[in-house]
Structure 1
Amino acid sequence: MKILLLARYAALGASSRVRFYQYLPFLRANGIHLDVAPLFDDDYLRALYAGNKPSLTSVARAYFSRLTALLRLAHYDLIWLETQLFPWLPARFENFLPRPYVADYDDAVFHRYDQHSSRVVRAVLGKSIDSVMRHARIVIAGNDYLAARARQARAVQVEILPSVVDGLRYQPAVAPPQGNFTLGWIGSPVTAPFLTLVKPALEEARKQAGVQITLVGGSLPGLEAVTVPWSESGEISAIQGFHVGIMPLPDAPFERGKCGYKLIQYMACGLPVIASPVGVNRQIIRHGETGFLAESHAEWLDAILTLKNSPALRQKMGRAGRLRFEAEYSLQVTAPRLLALLQQAAQI
């Protein structure tokens, strides 16, 4: 079977790396011929993360490259598509593709259009993702929120496949990290502003209890923290240096569609977690068993100090989180299921 993967980003893009690229070795080892044609290259993301607006020339070049890839569709049995062919354009091409496609979603991208401040954007693009979902042979959603939208759009078949990490690569540290109790966060400059939600609790914990805050891949102005540049080769060791992993998140439509990737990374490394009770976070975390769900300032501060003051509880929660990861959120669990779904889509 030959599949053309139309990812949104090259390897630097977390969504493409997690939802697609990490599966490629397994799929190829099981007889799938895969060609990859990302829409945007790593330079596009580097500019975005640096706070620079990508040039119209770079976007036009990306769209032309995507059009060129579509000319090769006759050579494939199936298209594996990340969200849509052309962001910010009406979904027309998807309706007339000569090959079936599987569409994958790990974010509520539809809310970029149907919640947009512009009435024109809402009118023209508000239902574009629904159209892509409706014409897909299978929609693969990262959580219930995204799956519900696909069903509402009358998708033919909807399957939930969580965002995961490789359980062979991600392992708990051999020994707990030494030094100050460290509260850690990993992400990107795009998601770093979410830390504003818990900034007062983090500052209070730092001042009153000597908690060290480490941020990997982003920073927050005014928050005293150790900042570490993100790299794919260094992210696991960085997380292993945390005592607890955190994931603050606002309760808003777009954020309800997130797939809890940070939590999966932390739990894979045997860490207890603290997160906002938003969207899939409620499913991933077993409150009081693998970590804490915290909403108010008092709840966040209490969760931080409780875990700081009890190494035994951290160890117990970390072990429980790792077991939950191994059972439901590891690549070893989801890869065979993804393979079966792609094979099914190509054979219908």
Structure 2
Amino acid sequence: MPQCVVFRLTKGFAVTLLFTRAWRYRLRVLALSRYTRMGASSRMRLMQYNPWLESAGIDVEISPLFSDEYVLGLQHNRRHAGDIVRAYLARLQRLLQRGKFDLIWIEKEILPWLPAWVEFMLLSRRVPYVLDYDDAFFHLYDLHPRAVVRWLLAGKHPALMRKAALVIAGNNYLADFARKAGAGRVEIIPTVVDLDRYVNLRHNRSDKGPMPCIGWIGQRASAMNLMKYKEVFLRLSDEGRACFSAVGIDAQSLGLPMKSVEWREETEVENIADFDIGIMPLVDAPFERGKCGYKLIQYMACALPVVASPVGVNSDIVEHGINGFLADTAGEWERSLRMLLDDSELRHRMGLAGRQKVEREYCIQVTGPRLAALLKDAAKVNNIGK
């Protein structure tokens, strides 16, 4: 920070030398992510901003809670208690060094399934913190089926939000929750893509194959949303109207007529660019209303038309009839998909409109400078002692 040094000279003069180090002072931030780069939320909400923040004078040290092995286990529905214990102990050890930093940037919470008072014990009263949400994780507690969990943990996230210097929310649903909880400052930053990774990758797969491809990308936890329209997908596949591709899951094990493609960070953009239509079905439930529509943004960045359920932020991202279709019932989904399958010009026009919207609103080139400014402001605010 700027420092003032006063020297007393023999003739009674007081010369104040102001060493303004703003030009070379760098903000030190400890980022407590939930996952490594294998976790999409940690990768897109925190890690991808590193180059932007560094260029803005912010040094970020990222400390994931869970390892790659844990994330892989989640994708195969496996969890090991030993991995969780080791992760918690490592995080506790890391927080012993919290005093070295000017700001702590927390993805959702420090230690899942432990009450807020534990986290307040681990936080320094001298170091402000920022909370970042891209999912309605608070509903895992306040809507839990067990009364004891609701009693112990329903108030955890509201308590953390109230003492945060800043709450960053991925959409209005999350922001509204934070405001109602009493958060002092709430800002919305959507989950975005880096346009530099989405350059000259759109090539019309249907020109190279017998039929257009309808695609989806995600993890097993969200794959259940596909089941609601399984019969529509089966019908279109049986008719030979479309082929289907699913990146990141074993679609065959779910009985879906989709080619399964392994997810890898290095190839995900190329895999999406192989689609002709991107889809994002969602059930209308509280947790899903908190989702940030990242799939849609990825599809649109690849200039794909989209079909999505009108749930949560999907209704903001998709402009019905402009860059895609919002569809609720099975009949609406089938009509929307058939319209796009039958009209390559419509696919092209909607895809272009989607790409333009991403360039305006949903790219790191827009949000990067804004996030840097917000973190610098947050470092000046400390609500922990209040």
> Which TM-score band (shorter chain)?
over 0.9
Look up the equivalent residue of 2:293 and give its one-letter code: G
**Of the candidates 72, 78, 95, which is equivalent to residue 70 of structure 1?**
95
RMSD: 1.1
1:217 aligns with 2:248: yes
CA contact (8 A) 2:47 2:62 kept: no
Q: Which runs of 5+ in 1 are unaligned?
A: none
Query: Which residue number in structure 1 is paired with residue 7 of structure 2?
Result: none
* Distance apart, 1:29 and its partner CA: 2.1
Query: Following the alignment from structure 2 to structure 1, what is the Cα–Cα distance between the partners of residues 134 and 197?
Result: 22
- Aligned ranges for residues 272-287 of structure 1 at < 5 Å? 272-287=305-320
Report the 3-state secondary structure (helix = DSSP H, G, I; strand = E; otherwise coil) of the residue aligned with 2:351: helix
Aligned to 2:146: 118
Corresponding pairs, count? 347
Deviation at 1:251, TM superposition (A): 0.2
Q: Does 1:195 align with 2:195?
A: no
**CA contact under 8 A between 1:141 and 1:160: conserved in structure 2?**
yes
Q: Contact (CA 8 Å) 2:305, 2:323: kept in 1 or not?
A: yes
Matched, 1:240 2:240: no
Deviation of 1:209 after TM superposition, in Å, equals 4.2
SS in 2 for 1:92: helix
Report the Cα offset of residue 172 of structure 1.
5.1
Q: Is residue 2:31 matched to residue 1:5?
A: yes
Three-state SS of the structure 1 residue aligned to 2:220 is coil
1:16 corresponding residue in structure 2:
42
CA offsets per residue over residues 55-78 of structure 1, 9 Å max, x none?
222111111111111110111000
Deviation at 1:173, TM superposition (A): 3.0
Measure the CA separation in 2 of the matches of 1:182 and 1:151: 42
Task: Note if contact 2:202-2:303 (Cα within 8 Å) is conserved in structure 1.
Answer: no
Are the aligned partners of 2:241 and 2:341 in contact in 1 as well (CA < 8 Å)?
Answer: no
What does residue 106 of structure 1 align with? Answer: 134
Letter of the structure 1 residue corresponding to residue 53 of structure 2: L
CA distance in structure 1 between the aligned counterparts of 2:199 and 2:259, rounded to whole angstroms: 23
The answer to whether the Cα contact below 8 Å between 1:106 and 1:142 also exists between their aligned partners in 2 is: yes
Distance 1:186 1:119 in 2: 35
Contact 1:2 1:77 in 2 (8 A): yes
Q: How far does the alpha carbon of each residue in 1:292-338 deviate from its partner, in whole angstroms, 9 at most, with x for none?
A: 00011111011111001101000000000000000000010000010
Number of the residue aligned with 1:152 = 180
Alpha-carbon offset, residue 174 of structure 1: 4.8
Write out the 4+ residue segments of structure 1 that deviate beyond 4 Å after TM superposition. none
Aligned-partner Cα distance in 2 for 1:295–1:19 = 28
Which amino acid counterpart does residue 57 of structure 1 have in structure 2? G
Q: Which amino acid aligns with 1:65?
A: A
CA distance in 2 between counterparts of 1:198 and 1:173 reads: 29
Give SS of 1:230's match.
coil
Q: Which structure has the larger Rg?
A: 2
The residue aligned with 1:169 is 197
Answer yes or no: is the 8 Å Cα contact 1:111–1:253 preserved in 2: yes
SS at match of 2:49: helix
- Shift in Å at residue 168 of structure 1? 1.2
Letter in 1 for 2:361: E
Q: Which residue of 2 aligns with 1:313?
A: 346
Pick aligned residue for 2:303 from 270, 277, 285: 270
The answer as to 2:51 corresponding to 1:25 is yes
**TM-score (normalizing by structure 1):** 0.98
Q: Which residue of 1 aligns with 2:363?
A: 330
Determine whether 1:296 maps to 2:329: yes
